Structure formats: structure tokens, C-alpha cells
């Protein structure tokens, strides 16, 4: 073990060999690997020690401010070169410090914005001034008291009479001009991204506003917000592979929900009439620009409504969002203009296939459809055996990517819609719709299946598929079928993907840009190289 007790402690050389050893700084033990992992700056740790030695509370407990930075900018917008009489107290993180001998300029930022600070030795006195000069670095959080004025160059500035260290940063800040660009670091250390990249902070601010906008839209219209289990003994409500976990004391396997659907419908059975949940769902699938293993949805159910009502509601909700967030009904996504002016286009799946594939489903036999699928190398067609399956495959293959402007596609084949009610007129179809924007599926809704016998049969079919190896087919939830057995009113339901909505409204083509902490593979720093033979 290596002891570095000499003062100042941080000046002790930290030997650069790769072997494991420990460094003691003022009695605190740092393993070398910790220092590697911690990214602490030894000179800053030294400053913390010295400040404490001078009786400075480096991490005090509270601070009162009279103004946020935004409030200062508003209130003193017309400030001139003379100091304003009214004093202000504000706080924030130091981003840049410019030393000029006996004056210092610094840029400080809080959640609402940034502002320049001006400090002079004449005002603070040599001791306080020196404390700032020596110990306050970019990254530190300080509180300042002073008077607002405008510099000769016109910059609104707080002329600092006194300052308080509120939190000392011991890690190096990202570069002040270029900031933090490395995508991986931005995702893994989102706090740094938020700290220095204004656009990123803006994106997540918008995300927060979108969610609160969805919530208030629904609450205002009398929908009740509920929370249903994330840990479920039987998963359902969607076709997807679940995450599994285990409860030690129940001694029972549990699944992370893939959808809240079956529980929300139980609430409808129980007598709540308009319900919604904003939930995280978990699907054990690949990660890419459109998929994160956990993602956010809002699911909405309302009694005595059918799928066409739910299309109206979806259109209403999303146009309201666009108007609220963007102040217009047009948004630019990846340099394409998306027009949310109502009414949005609505077309049946068969019409979509007719329009985009030039295939009229009615004109072809089952064998004919199979032949067309083979000719066009439609993905998954080798597993198709019914007209409905071909319709769904043709839609995905030919039509989906062309649905750029907001478009509802309705009347889905019954095969892939085990929770949707049979179509009131069309044999072999369900009353189901999906909303597509920029080729992305944004919402999925239906007239909810409330016939318990039909539901039982459909889930049994799913279960047979699952047992035959379809990893995404659903389990049978007998309690859910029982709930329907007690009688569920005719109900319309819809689920809207929040992450994709945020992508659209913030013009990001990767879901990781709109999820604060996207799932990343954990690096295993101490793993020895696996295939080194010596």
C-alpha cells in the first residue's frame, strides 16, 4: 500500500503502472481501479481538502435565491451600464471562468438559463477574491449575491458582492466549446449531456411536457388514471417476448408486463368507465433506433365506444399535443413536412394494399396470394396459410413504409388480433386500427373483444401457437377471461407509443435520443481478455 500523507495530498504522484495498489489521500483510501472508474480529478480533491482546512463548508445544506436566472433576465432586461439598485441572489453551476488578474468573469447556469458573473478584487476584498480565484472552477455550484448591470459589450451580468460555494465538483467538465459529442458517453452519462448540451435538455423538457399534456388532456375529459401491476404472474395484452423474474418469498416466477391491457379491462369490468395508464412496458427483444427494451405507452379505455371513436380520440389527443408543443399543425421530421391538420386519412388495410401494392385481395384465390407473395419475396410468407395472414404481410411489405402523413389503417385480419372484437360486417376481420406516421406505428386500438367465449377460444389458439414454438404468442389468462365472463360493456381502447411521439415532436430518428437512460450493455472492465493463450 502506498501512503501519500504529505501535504498537499493530491500532488502525490500516482504511479501509472497497471498493477493494483491503493493510494491514501488524507486517510481516504482510493484503489487505483476506483480512481480509474471514478474519474475524479486529484487536484480538485485537493482543493476540497484545502477548503475544508480553511473552514469552508464545501457541501452546505441549503441556499435561498431571490431570482432564477430566467427571472433575472426578465426583470432586468432593460438594465444599463450602471448597477441596478435592487440586489439579487441566485445560484447555479459555473461553466466557464475567465480570469483577468484582479477581475474575473464567469458564466453560470441554472435550469432556466445562463448568465455572466463579474467579480472584482476591489469589491470582494483580497481574501474572498483569492478564494474564488484559487478554488472555484467550472463545474462547481455556487450561490452569488450582487447587482445586475450590462457590460460595455452589452452582456447582462451580475456584479458579484459575495459568493457561497454550494457544491464542489471533483470531476473534470466536458470541453467548454465543443461540449460532449460522443454518443455513447451522452447516453451512458446523461447528466453530462444534460449539463452541457442545450438541445438535449430541450428534448427532455419537451418529453416532460408531452407526458403532462397527455395526462391533462385525459384528466380534463374525465378519464381516470390508474396504475396496474408491472410484475405479472401471467403476461398478456400484446404479442411479445417478456422479461422473467422471480419472487423469492412467493417462490414464483413473475413477468415484467408487456402491456397493461388485460388489467385495465378488468377495471372496466369493475365499473370504471373511462380509464388510462401511462406505463412502462418491457419487451425482451432487440434494441435498435426504434426499440428500447422498456418503453412508455399511454393506454386508454372507454365504455360504450368503438374503434372509430378511438380513432377520433387518438386524432384529437395527438393534434392537441402537436398544437401545444409546436404551436402549429405542421412539423418537420427528418426534413419531411408532416401535416397534422384534421381530418387525418383513414383507409382499410385492404384499401392500403390495393393502393400501395396494386393487389385486390378479392380477386385472388389463396394459392394466387401465395404466388404473389413468393414473387415479391414478401418476408414471412412461408408461414402464412390464410387470406388474413397474406393481407397483413402484404400490408407490412408494400404499404407501411409509404404511410408518411398521419394515416389510420383499420380492419385488421382476425389472425393477429386476439384481443380485438370481430368486425360487425366483414367476416374474418376485427375492428382494429393502427395509426402510422412517417411509416412508424404510433398507435394501436380496437373495439375491445368482450365476448368471453370468443376470447377464450382466441387465447386458446394463441396458447397452442405458443406451445408450438411461437415465442411471441400470448398465454391464457383465465382470470381475465372470467372477468369478461362477468360482463364487460362494449368498450373502445387504444395504446399510443409515447417515445415515438416524442421522437416525432423533437425530430429525432433514434429512440435513444428521447429516452433519458437508454439500455446500454454494461462494460466489464475487470474481465481478462478471453482468448489470450500464453
Partner RNA sequence: GGGCCUGUAGCUUAGCUGGCAGAGCGACGGACUCUUAAUCCGUAGGCCAGGGGUUCAAAUCCCUUCAGGCCCGCCA
d(CA 347, CA 389): 18
The reply to whether 125 sits near RNA by the rule CB under 7 A is no
Contacts to RNA from residues 105-124, by CB under 7 A? 105, 107, 116, 120-122
Nearest distance from C-beta of residue 125 to RNA, angstroms? 11
Mask of contacts with RNA, 234-253, x by CB under 7 A?
A: ----xxx-------------
Residues 6+ apart with CB under 8 A from 534: none
The reply to whether 293 sits near RNA by the rule CB under 7 A is yes
The reply to whether 184 sits near RNA by the rule CB under 7 A is yes
Of 54, 181, 280, 342, the residue at the interface with RNA (CB under 7 A) is: 181
The reply to whether 176 sits near RNA by the rule CB under 7 A is yes
d(CA 395, CA 342): 24
What is the rounded (10 degree) CA torsion for 281, 206, 197, 68? -120
The reply to whether 497 sits near RNA by the rule CB under 7 A is yes
Of 1, 250, 377, 523, the residue at the interface with RNA (CB under 7 A) is: 523
Of 113, 179, 452, 485, the residue at the interface with RNA (CB under 7 A) is: 179
Could you tell me if 223 and 274 are in contact, meaning their C-beta atoms sit under 8 angstroms apart? yes
Could you tell me if 49 and 26 are in contact, meaning their C-beta atoms sit under 8 angstroms apart? yes
Of 279, 444, 455, 491, the residue at the interface with RNA (CB under 7 A) is: 444
Nearest distance from C-beta of residue 362 to RNA, angstroms? 25
Map grid coordinates 442545450 to a residue: 198
Alpha helices in 332-395 (DSSP H): 349-357, 366-375, 387-394
Of 3, 31, 37, 99, the residue at the interface with RNA (CB under 7 A) is: 99
Contacts to RNA from residues 368-397, by CB under 7 A? 379-380, 396
Q: Whose Cβ is closer to RNA: residue 47's or residue 305's?
A: 47
Alpha helices in 117-230 (DSSP H): 121-135, 183-188, 190-196, 198-220
Contacts to RNA from residues 6-65, by CB under 7 A? 16-18, 39, 41, 43-44, 47
Query: Of 398, 403, 420, 400, which Cα lies nearest the Cα of 411?
Result: 420
**DSSP letter (8 states) at residue 510:** -
Query: Of 147, 71, 59, which Cα lies nearest the Cα of 112?
Result: 71
* DSSP secondary structure letters along 207-220: HHHHHHHHHHHHHH
Mask of contacts with RNA, 142-161, x by CB under 7 A?
A: -------x-xxxxx-x----
Please name every residue paired with 87 in a beta bridge, in sequence order, or none if there are none: 147
Residues 6+ apart with CB under 8 A from 100: none
Q: Whose Cβ is closer to RNA: residue 467's or residue 531's?
A: 531
Distances (CA, A) of 46 to 50, 53, 107, 385: 6, 10, 24, 72
Query: Interface with RNA by CB under 7 A: which range of 51-59, 223-231, 313-321, 514-522?
Result: 514-522
Q: How many residues bind RNA (CB under 7 A)?
A: 84
Contacts to RNA from residues 269-288, by CB under 7 A? 283, 285-286, 288
Query: Interface with RNA by CB under 7 A: which range of 207-215, 305-313, 348-356, 525-533?
Result: 525-533
Residues 6+ apart with CB under 8 A from 273: 302, 303, 489
Mask of contacts with RNA, 73-92, x by CB under 7 A?
A: --------x-----------
Contacts to RNA from residues 334-373, by CB under 7 A? none
d(CA 468, CA 228): 30
Nearest distance from C-beta of residue 489 to RNA, angstroms? 25
Q: Whose Cβ is closer to RNA: residue 103's or residue 230's?
A: 103
The reply to whether 138 sits near RNA by the rule CB under 7 A is yes
Of 23, 97, 268, 419, the residue at the interface with RNA (CB under 7 A) is: 97
Nearest distance from C-beta of residue 195 to RNA, angstroms? 12
Of 80, 101, 222, 487, the residue at the interface with RNA (CB under 7 A) is: 101
Contacts to RNA from residues 399-428, by CB under 7 A? none
Segment (H or E) for 153: none
d(CA 251, CA 473): 25
Q: Whose Cβ is closer to RNA: residue 244's or residue 509's?
A: 509
Amino acid at each position: 500500500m502506498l501512503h501519500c500523507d504529505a501535504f498537499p495530498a493530491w500532488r502525490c504522484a500516482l504511479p501509472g503502472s497497471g498493477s493494483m495498489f491503493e493510494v491514501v489521500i488524507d486517510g481516504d483510501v482510493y484503489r487505483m481501479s476506483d480512481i480509474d472508474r471514478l474519474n475524479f480529478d486529484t487536484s480538485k480533491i485537493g482543493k476540497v481538502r484545502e477548503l475544508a482546512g480553511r473552514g469552508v463548508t464545501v457541501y452546505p445544506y441549503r441556499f435561498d435565491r431571490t431570482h432564477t436566472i430566467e427571472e433575472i433576465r426578465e426583470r432586468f432586461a432593460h438594465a444599463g451600464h450602471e448597477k441596478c439598485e435592487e440586489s439579487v441572489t441566485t445560484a447555479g453551476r459555473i461553466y466557464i471562468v475567465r480570469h483577468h488578474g484582479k477581475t474575473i468573469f464567469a458564466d453560470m447556469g441554472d435550469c432556466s438559463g445562463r448568465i455572466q458573473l463579474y467579480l472584482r478584487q476591489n469589491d470582494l476584498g483580497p481574501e474572498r477574491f483569492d478564494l474564488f480565484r484559487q478554488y472555484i472552477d467550472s463545474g462547481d455550484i455556487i450561490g452569488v449575491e450582487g447587482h445586475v448591470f450590462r457590460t460595455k459589450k452589452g452582456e447582462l451580468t451580475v456584479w458579484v458582492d459575495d459568493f457561497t460555494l454550494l457544491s464542489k465538483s471533483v470531476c473534470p467538465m466536458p470541453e467548454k466549446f465543443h461540449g460532449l459529442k460522443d454518443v455513447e458517453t451522452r447516453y451512458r452519462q446523461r447528466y453530462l449531456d444534460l449539463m452541457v448540451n442545450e438541445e438535449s435538455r430541450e428534448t427532455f423538457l419537451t418529453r416532460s411536457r408531452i407526458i403532462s399534456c397527455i395526462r391533462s388532456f385525459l384528466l380534463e375529459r374525465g378519464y381516470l388514471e390508474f396504475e396496474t401491476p408491472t410484475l405479472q404472474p401471467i403476461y398478456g395484452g400484446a404479442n411479445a417476448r417478456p422479461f422473467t423474474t422471480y419472487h423469492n418469498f412467493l417462490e414464483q416466477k413473475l413477468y415484467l408486463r408487456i402491456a397493461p391491457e388485460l388489467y385495465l379491462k378488468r377495471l372496466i369490468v369493475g365499473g370504471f368507465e373511462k380509464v388510462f395508464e401511462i406505463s412502462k412496458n418491457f419487451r425482451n427483444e432487440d434494441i435498435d433506433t426504434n426499440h428500447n427494451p422498456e418503453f412508455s405507452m399511454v393506454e386508454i379505455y372507454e365504455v360504450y365506444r368503438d374503434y372509430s371513436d378511438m380513432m377520433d380520440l387518438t386524432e384529437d389527443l395527438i393534434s392537441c399535443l402537436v398544437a401545444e408543443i409546436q404551436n402549429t399543425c405542421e412539423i418537420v421530421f427528418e426534413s419531411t413536412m408532416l401535416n397534422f391538420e384534421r381530418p387525418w386519412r383513414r383507409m382499410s388495410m385492404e384499401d392500403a394494399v390495393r393502393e400501395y401494392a396494386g393487389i385486390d385481395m378479392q380477386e385472388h384465390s389463396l394459392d394466387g396470394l401465395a404466388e404473389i407473395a413468393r414473387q415479391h419475396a414478401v418476408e414471412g410468407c412461408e408461414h402464412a396459410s390464410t387470406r388474413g395472414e397474406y393481407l397483413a404481410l402484404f400490408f407490412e411489405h408494400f404499404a407501411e413504409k409509404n404511410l408518411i402523413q398521419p394515416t389510420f389503417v383499420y380492419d385488421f385480419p382476425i389472425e393477429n388480433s386476439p384481443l380485438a372484437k370481430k368486425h360487425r360486417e366483414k367476416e374474418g376481420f376485427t375492428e382494429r386500427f393502427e395509426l402510422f406516421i412517417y411509416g412508424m406505428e404510433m398507435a394501436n386500438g380496437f373495439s375491445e373483444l368482450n365476448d368471453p367465449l370468443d376470447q377464450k377460444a382466441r387465447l386458446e389458439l394463441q396458447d397452442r401457437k405458443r406451445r408450438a414454438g411461437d415465442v411471441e404468442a400470448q398465454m391464457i389468462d383465465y382470470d381475465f377471461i372470467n372477468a369478461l365472463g362477468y360482463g364487460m360493456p362494449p368498450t373502445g381502447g387504444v395504446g399510443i407509443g409515447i417515445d415515438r411521439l416524442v421522437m416525432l415532436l423533437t425530430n429525432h430518428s433514434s429512440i435513444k435520443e428521447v429516452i433519458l437512460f437508454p439500455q446500454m450493455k454494461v462494460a466489464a472492465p475487470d474481465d481478462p481478455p478471453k482468448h489470450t493463450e500464453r
